[in-house]
Amino acid sequence: MTATEALQAPRWDGQRLIFELNMDDGIAVRCAISRLALLGVTGGGPFKTTDLMARFAAARPRIEAAAYAKLRERSSPPLGILHIWEDDILDPSPGASPRAMEASIRRG
Protein backbone atom coordinates (compact mmCIF):
# COMPACT_ATOMS: atom_id res chain seq x y z
CA MET A 1 0.00 0.00 0.00
CA THR A 2 1.51 3.31 -1.08
CA ALA A 3 0.58 6.93 -1.59
CA THR A 4 -0.51 7.16 -5.18
CA GLU A 5 0.09 9.59 -7.99
CA ALA A 6 -1.15 7.24 -10.69
CA LEU A 7 -2.35 3.69 -10.37
CA GLN A 8 -0.29 0.99 -12.00
CA ALA A 9 -1.89 -0.89 -14.87
CA PRO A 10 -3.22 -4.37 -14.04
CA ARG A 11 -0.67 -7.10 -14.64
CA TRP A 12 -0.44 -10.88 -14.65
CA ASP A 13 2.29 -12.29 -12.40
CA GLY A 14 1.98 -15.89 -13.56
CA GLN A 15 -0.48 -16.91 -10.83
CA ARG A 16 -2.86 -14.00 -10.37
CA LEU A 17 -3.89 -10.72 -11.88
CA ILE A 18 -2.74 -7.81 -9.72
CA PHE A 19 -4.48 -4.43 -9.83
CA GLU A 20 -4.70 -1.34 -7.64
CA LEU A 21 -7.59 0.58 -6.13
CA ASN A 22 -7.38 4.23 -5.22
CA MET A 23 -8.85 4.89 -1.78
CA ASP A 24 -10.46 8.17 -0.72
CA ASP A 25 -7.38 9.11 1.33
CA GLY A 26 -5.10 8.88 -1.74
CA ILE A 27 -3.66 5.51 -0.78
CA ALA A 28 -3.35 2.79 -3.42
CA VAL A 29 -4.28 -0.70 -2.25
CA ARG A 30 -2.85 -3.62 -4.19
CA CYS A 31 -5.41 -6.32 -4.95
CA ALA A 32 -5.28 -9.66 -6.72
CA ILE A 33 -7.66 -12.13 -8.30
CA SER A 34 -6.60 -15.65 -9.29
CA ARG A 35 -6.99 -17.12 -12.75
CA LEU A 36 -9.58 -19.59 -11.42
CA ALA A 37 -11.60 -16.86 -9.68
CA LEU A 38 -11.50 -14.72 -12.83
CA LEU A 39 -12.70 -17.70 -14.84
CA GLY A 40 -15.61 -18.26 -12.44
CA VAL A 41 -16.61 -14.60 -12.43
CA THR A 42 -16.53 -14.28 -16.22
CA GLY A 43 -18.62 -17.34 -16.99
CA GLY A 44 -16.11 -20.14 -17.58
CA GLY A 45 -15.42 -21.57 -20.99
CA PRO A 46 -12.07 -21.81 -22.75
CA PHE A 47 -9.51 -19.64 -21.05
CA LYS A 48 -6.08 -18.69 -22.32
CA THR A 49 -3.55 -16.45 -20.64
CA THR A 50 -3.99 -14.05 -23.57
CA ASP A 51 -7.66 -13.66 -22.54
CA LEU A 52 -6.87 -12.48 -19.01
CA MET A 53 -6.88 -8.72 -19.55
CA ALA A 54 -10.02 -8.75 -21.69
CA ARG A 55 -11.90 -10.85 -19.14
CA PHE A 56 -10.64 -8.69 -16.30
CA ALA A 57 -11.66 -5.49 -18.12
CA ALA A 58 -15.17 -6.86 -18.71
CA ALA A 59 -15.61 -7.85 -15.05
CA ARG A 60 -13.59 -5.04 -13.49
CA PRO A 61 -16.53 -3.02 -12.11
CA ARG A 62 -17.84 -6.09 -10.25
CA ILE A 63 -14.36 -7.11 -9.08
CA GLU A 64 -13.60 -3.61 -7.80
CA ALA A 65 -17.00 -3.38 -6.07
CA ALA A 66 -16.20 -6.61 -4.22
CA ALA A 67 -12.73 -5.31 -3.31
CA TYR A 68 -14.13 -2.04 -1.94
CA ALA A 69 -16.73 -4.03 0.05
CA LYS A 70 -13.97 -6.16 1.59
CA LEU A 71 -11.98 -3.03 2.45
CA ARG A 72 -15.01 -1.44 4.15
CA GLU A 73 -15.41 -4.56 6.32
CA ARG A 74 -11.83 -4.29 7.61
CA SER A 75 -10.77 -2.27 10.62
CA SER A 76 -7.47 -1.37 8.93
CA PRO A 77 -6.04 -1.52 5.41
CA PRO A 78 -4.27 -4.73 4.38
CA LEU A 79 -0.53 -4.95 4.97
CA GLY A 80 0.02 -6.77 1.69
CA ILE A 81 -2.20 -7.69 -1.21
CA LEU A 82 -5.97 -7.89 -0.76
CA HIS A 83 -7.08 -11.14 -2.40
CA ILE A 84 -10.43 -11.20 -4.15
CA TRP A 85 -12.06 -14.62 -4.34
CA GLU A 86 -14.84 -15.81 -6.59
CA ASP A 87 -17.30 -15.90 -3.67
CA ASP A 88 -16.51 -12.25 -2.87
CA ILE A 89 -18.17 -11.41 -6.17
CA LEU A 90 -20.72 -14.18 -6.75
CA ASP A 91 -21.82 -14.70 -3.13
CA PRO A 92 -21.00 -11.44 -1.31
CA SER A 93 -21.58 -10.86 2.38
CA PRO A 94 -24.83 -9.09 3.38
CA GLY A 95 -22.92 -5.83 3.93
CA ALA A 96 -21.50 -5.80 0.39
CA SER A 97 -22.24 -3.01 -2.05
CA PRO A 98 -25.33 -3.20 -4.27
CA ARG A 99 -23.11 -3.67 -7.34
CA ALA A 100 -21.39 -6.69 -5.77
CA MET A 101 -24.78 -8.08 -4.75
CA GLU A 102 -26.10 -7.64 -8.33
CA ALA A 103 -23.22 -9.80 -9.59
CA SER A 104 -24.44 -12.74 -7.52
CA ILE A 105 -28.06 -12.29 -8.58
CA ARG A 106 -27.19 -12.18 -12.30
CA ARG A 107 -25.11 -15.36 -12.02
CA GLY A 108 -27.69 -17.41 -10.11
Q: Domain 2-107 has what CATH class? A: alpha beta
Question: CB within 8 A of 35, min separation 6: which ones?
Answer: 15, 16, 17, 47, 52
Is 21's pLDDT higher than 80?
yes
Q: Give 36-95 as a DSSP string.
A: HHHHHHTT-S---GGGHHHHHHHHHHHHHHHHHHHHHHSSS--SS-EEE-HHHHHS--TT
Contacts 24+ apart (CB under 8 A), 46-55: 49/12, 52/12, 52/17, 53/10, 53/12, 53/17
Calculate the average pLDDT of the chain.
81
Q: Are 90 and 43 in contact (CB under 8 A)?
A: no
Using one digit for the tens of pLDDT, what is the confidence trace for 26-76? 788 999 999 889 999 998 887 777 888 999 999 999 999 999 999 888 877
Cα separation, 22 vs 107, in Å, equals: 27
Q: Are 56 and 63 in contact (CB under 8 A)?
A: yes
Tell me the whole-structure pTM to 2 decimals: 0.76
Is 19's pLDDT higher than 90?
yes
